[in-house]
Amino acid sequence: MANQYVNKVVIDGQTKVDLTGDTVTPQTLSLGVTAHDGSGAPITGVYSGEPHNYLFDGANLKDVFGTASAFHAAVAAGDFSKIRVGDYWTITLNGSYRDYGEGSTVGQYTTKSFSSATVILEVAAINPYWKYGDSGDIANGTPHVLFISRDCLPASLKIRKANDLWEDESSKNPWLGSALYKTLNDSTNGIVHLVSAADIGAYIYGGSDGNGMRYYGEKRDPITATTSSAAWFSRGKLFLPTEDEIWGRAIFTVKAHQGQKGLPIFEGTRRHISKGLGNGAYRASWWSMSAYAGNNTHFCDVIGGGFPTVDPAGTSYGVPLCFLVT
Amino acid sequence: MWIYVDNNLVLGANPNDMTGNTGWVECNGEITEPLFDEYGVPMYAYEDGVLRMRTEEEREADRLVQPTPQPTLEQVNEALNMLLNGVIGDE
C-alpha cells in the first residue's frame, strides 16, 4: 500500500522538502509538540522527560523484567535503560529472627516474627558508590543498584540494648558494634536470612569478605565519645543510609567519615524520607547508621515529623531495609 | 487499626492487617495526632486494651536533654589550624 502521506517534494528536479531521513518519533518528541515523522505522518510528542521523584510513583520492576534474575542480569551488565530512581521491587517477609537489641547483656536476644510482611524496595540510587570502595570492591566499577524500602520493616528496633552497650566491642565502629547490625546481619538468625529467601534476596551484594560493601567509616574505641580516626570497614549486607546520604550533608555526625553523597531518592523532597513502621503505615521515626559525633550514647535518626535529630541508641525506632544488588 | 506497642507506648500505626507480626495489636481506638511530638516522644499509650493520648506531664518526663557533644579531633584540628593560620597571617 502506497504511503498516504507525503514525505518528499521535488519540483522541477529540485528537492524542496525531504523528510525521509528524519528520525523523530512520538517517544522522542516533547509532550504535546506536533511534527511529521519520516513517513510524513503527523505525530504528537509523548515524551515528558524524567520526572523528579517527588512526582514519580515509580515503575514496578517485576512488570519490567519479570524475574529477579532478569533484573540482576541487566544490573550486572550495566544496562540501566529500564531502571530509574523511584522504581520498585516488592518482597514479602515471613519467619522468625533474633532481635539482639532486647535483653540486658551482650548476646541476649528476643525471637520475633514477620508474617506476610510487605516490603516495597525502591531504587534509591544507581551506581552511588562507583569507585568509592577500596581495592577488590565496587571500586573496580561494578554496576550496582541501591535499594531502600519505601517504609520501614514492621518492627521497632534498638541500635543498642542500652545506650552505651556495644554488642561487639572488637568492631571499632559504632554501627558495626551495634546490636542492630547483628539483628540485621546474623547470617543464620538475622533479618538477612529472611530477605535472602525472597527472589531479589539471592542477589544481595556480599562484598569481598561476605559482609557487604567496603565503606570509609568512623573508627573509635567502644564507650568513647571522641572519634579516633577513620578506616575501611565492611558495612554489612544489610545496612542503613548514613545521615549525609539522607540529608545531603552531615548534621550531627562526623562529616569526614560518612557516605559522602546525598542519595537521589531523598533529594528535593521528603516524600521518601518520611517512612512508616511497616508498609503503608503512619510515619514513624527511623534510624540512620551514623553515630552522633563526640557522643557515646546517641545515634542520628529521622524523627517522625521528617527532620534530622539524634536519640539514645537504646530507643526503639523503625529500620528501613537497605542493600545493594550488583 | 493496628498499632505497634513497646512498653505500653505506641510506636507505629498501620491500617493494614498486621496479624502474625511481633509487637502489633489490633485496637478500636483512633489515631488523630502524629505518633510522635516535636521532641520525638510518643504521643499515645496503650494500656489494658485501651488506646489513649498521653498527658503533657507524661511526655515531658520522657523528653531527654540532648547531650552537648565533646569536640571531635577534627574540630580540634580545625580550630588549631585556624589559630595557627591566623598567627602566621599576621607576620
pLDDT, tens digit, for every residue of A252-272?
988 777 666 799 999 988 889
Mean per-residue pLDDT for A89-111?
97
Tell me how far apart the alpha carbons of residues B48 and B46 are, in angstroms, rounded to a whole number: 7
* H-type alpha helices, chain A: 61-65, 68-76, 179-185, 191-195, 243-247
The complex's ipTM works out to: 0.77
Of B1, B67, B56, nearest to A309 by C-alpha is B67
**Most confident of the following: A22-31, A37-46, B74-83:** A37-46
Mean per-residue pLDDT for A167-178?
94
CB contacts < 8 A (A, B): 116
Please give the mean pLDDT across all residues of chain A: 90
A304: nearest CB among B6, B15, B35: B35
Smallest CA–CA separation between A271 and chain B, in Å? 16
Mean per-residue pLDDT for B18-41?
91
Confidence (pLDDT) at B91: 41
* Range 101-120 of A in CB contact (< 8 A) with B: 112-118
CB contact under 8 A, B18 and A154: yes
The pTM of this model reads: 0.82
A285: nearest CB among B24, B40, B72: B40
Of A211, A199, A190, A202, nearest to A114 by C-alpha is A190
Beta bridge partner(s), residue B20: none
Smallest CA–CA separation between A220 and chain B, in Å? 11
Place of cell 537504646: A314
First-to-last alpha carbon distance for chain A, in angstroms, is 49
